[in-house]
Homo-oligomer: A and B are copies of this chain.
């Protein structure tokens, strides 16, 4: 059914996090309502919207921020909201799977309020101020898609966006839209690299749209968070965007402010684009086996 729908309206919610998770959840819900009131029917939050980006330091106390899925408060809130508004919701949460085991996870809720399942971030970064390997076990659910009421969607998270393999493996399952909840920003001291870093980030994600002939919706955090790392923290660069299946930027959000980006995605363009650029037809699947090697040396 979802494949026959020709258009879907995407709603990307880009926010600044405060120290108060309840406040962030309340504000997120208000912004999701705003997106739905503008006709958006598939909505997505940024990565870990419920809290500041706590991975700027390694602190055991932050594990208390995690919640269970789907029994936790946030999942229940989004299921209720999705049912009330008749929208699909993708939300990025800090998952406590069991004592001492945590994941960076996105939940997918269908438009009738049904919890459809989760994606657990597969590629976990570890860089100065992005100490995610301390907090998150690597995902073990693989790459997934969900046939929601409005579209077949896949979800990947932040660092995943640099890996063409992740996009490909999700698209091969039929994803029409790849969502990337994200928390990426600049170290204020590295200003000379900003334009290059941001261009690379847009380019790699637009390339996934091109290579796979699908929509890409990237939802990024915004605002300056000092963090507990002792330095200047991170300036999250916002600029959430949607790319069409030929890599064209359909819309882009502000780099400083909280906002809702509502974008129409004509799903019939997927078949049209892939028919004219028949990349899937010509994949040399007999020759890709060694992609599972760390290096070919």
A173 in the interface, Cβ–Cβ < 8 Å? yes
Please, which residues of chain B bring their CB within 8 A of the CB of A210? 162, 200, 203-204
Please, which residues of chain B bring their CB within 8 A of the CB of A290? 169, 172
Which of A's residues lie within 8 Å of B, judged by CB?
122-127, 138, 142-143, 159, 162-166, 168-169, 172-174, 196-197, 199-200, 203-204, 206-207, 210-211, 246-248, 276-280, 282-297
Can you name the residue of chain B whose Cβ is closest to the Cβ of A281?
B126
Could you give 18 example pairs across A and B, Cβ below 8 Å?
A123-B282, A123-B283, A127-B276, A142-B287, A159-B282, A162-B277, A163-B283, A164-B164, A164-B168, A172-B290, A172-B291, A173-B295, A173-B296, A174-B296, A200-B210, A204-B247, A206-B207, A285-B291
In the complex, given contacts A163-B211, A280-B295, A285-B292, what are 19 additional A-B residue pairs having Cβ atoms less than 8 angstroms apart? A122-B287, A123-B282, A123-B284, A125-B282, A159-B282, A162-B279, A163-B284, A164-B207, A165-B168, A165-B288, A168-B291, A169-B287, A197-B246, A200-B246, A203-B207, A206-B207, A207-B207, A285-B294, A286-B292
Can you name the residue of chain B whose Cβ is closest to the Cβ of A141?
B287
Contact check, B138 vs A297: say whether CB atoms are below 8 A apart.
Answer: no
Contact check, B172 vs A211: say whether CB atoms are below 8 A apart.
Answer: no
Contact check, B203 vs A278: say whether CB atoms are below 8 A apart.
Answer: no
Contact check, A174 vs B297: say whether CB atoms are below 8 A apart.
Answer: yes
Contact check, A293 vs B284: say whether CB atoms are below 8 A apart.
Answer: no
C-alpha spacing A283/B297, complex, angstroms: 16
CB distance from A105 to the nearest CB of B (A): 16
**Assuming A164-B168, A165-B291, is B159 touching A124 (CB within 8 A)?**
no
Please, which residues of chain B bring their CB within 8 A of the CB of A286? 292
C-alpha spacing A173/B210, complex, angstroms: 25
Nearest 3 CB-CB pairs, A to B? A207-B207, A164-B164, A172-B296
Can you name the residue of chain B whose Cβ is closest to the Cβ of A284?
B122
Contact check, B288 vs A291: say whether CB atoms are below 8 A apart.
Answer: yes
Please, which residues of chain B bring their CB within 8 A of the CB of A172? 290-291, 293, 295-296
C-alpha spacing A166/B290, complex, angstroms: 11
Please, which residues of chain B bring their CB within 8 A of the CB of A197? 246
Can you name the residue of chain B whose Cβ is closest to the Cβ of A143?
B287
C-alpha spacing A163/B203, complex, angstroms: 15
C-alpha spacing A76/B133, complex, angstroms: 54
C-alpha spacing A173/B166, complex, angstroms: 20
